[in-house]
Structure 1
Amino acid sequence: MDNEGRNTSSKDVANDAISKVPIPDRGYIRAFGFRVTTSKFSLLSKKDGHYAKLEEKCEKMEVEMSRMRSLISHVLKSQDNGSKQHSNAINNQLVNNVATNPIETSPPSINNNNTFCKCTLLDWGGTTEVVVKGRWSSNDPKVTVHHVPLDPHAVRV
């Protein structure tokens, strides 16, 4: 009886040393208590395999998430640097072409020097197609259009 218990695998609970004790089993696995049947045990072992797969998948997803976070932070940092340069270029262009003051220091009221300046609005798609022609109204970020304040880099036309 001792040799049989040693030869069986440690994962095979249905045939371990405790199950070899000569007691009527009544269809239950003795190592897990009175109410665990072989069908319940097989279901539990299948779930264990499923849980192992889920844990492996979760670990892979966590690694991917950390990579994505680092990639997103890198992209945001590069965009932040690029947007600062782009913002400075826009401000310089506005000062040189149309506006008398940069956007950050514009007066809260409508700048009367810009009311007669004509401008053209281009297509959002990046093409040079002119959508509409208008007149410069304000570059103040505190001014509202339909009860919505302007973006600091936007202009009311």
Structure 2
Amino acid sequence: MSRKGYARMENEMKENHANPSEITRVELWKKAYENKNGEPVNDAAGEIMEQIKKCNELKENPPSKDSIRDDALARVLGPEARGRVRGLGFGATPSRVAATIQSNAMFNDIQTKMANLETQVKSLMKLNQQNSSKNPEDMISSHVATPQVGTPQSEQGSHPLQDQPTNNQKCQLLHWYNFKTAEEVVAEGHIASTDPQTKVHHIPIGKECWKVWVDLVVNEDLHLFRPTNEFSVLGDALGSTIAWPKSSIKMINEDYEYLH
């Protein structure tokens, strides 16, 4: 089946599914090898589907739903051939699919956080309505902040601000989503721009990112924060500019010598 055929089938399955995020490439592969009556197209396909079913039912070490390297299809049929991905048609590559999966996971995480924020806002609005019916003196006394003992008043509520770097200043790029390892350096380079309107591959970097030249790469397989049609992993961007979260950029002294 062609890439367009798989894409059309994926859209149809998601439209008819209560939870579209559950439509993975495993489900696409199974659908592609089923007849209209839902039966496998042949005995070989039926045997593979049975193995996939048993794999998904594992209680210990179940297959991943977010990785094409360890999902049920990969466990049953083995690693992907170079430059192709089963169940997604011609033209799909492992690096592009992995980048898409990662982006979808980030999007779902953002949606979850937004839903939590919405719940908190509703709770605050309800609390505000309840307080509006209370005695004004009680409301004032309940909201007066108690100064922290031993902390100068001038320092209370203050937060350190990140210094604004200058263009061409040396920096280290830290892992942008693995926070288990403190300050894991994945690349080194220098600042190209901190202007939110500056573009990287025709897209503005925005307020949360800086434009960075990549001079040295430590983790070549790390997916970019913003994949493009040309670059999907950090190793692709050596000698070019990328958008990187400023919270994951560490400035270094000009006399610092790059890692070797």
TM range (shorter): 0.3 to 0.5
TM-score, L = length of structure 2:
0.24
Q: Which has the higher contact order (CA 8 A, sep 6+)?
A: 2
TM-score, L = length of structure 1:
0.37
Return the structure number with greater helix share: 1
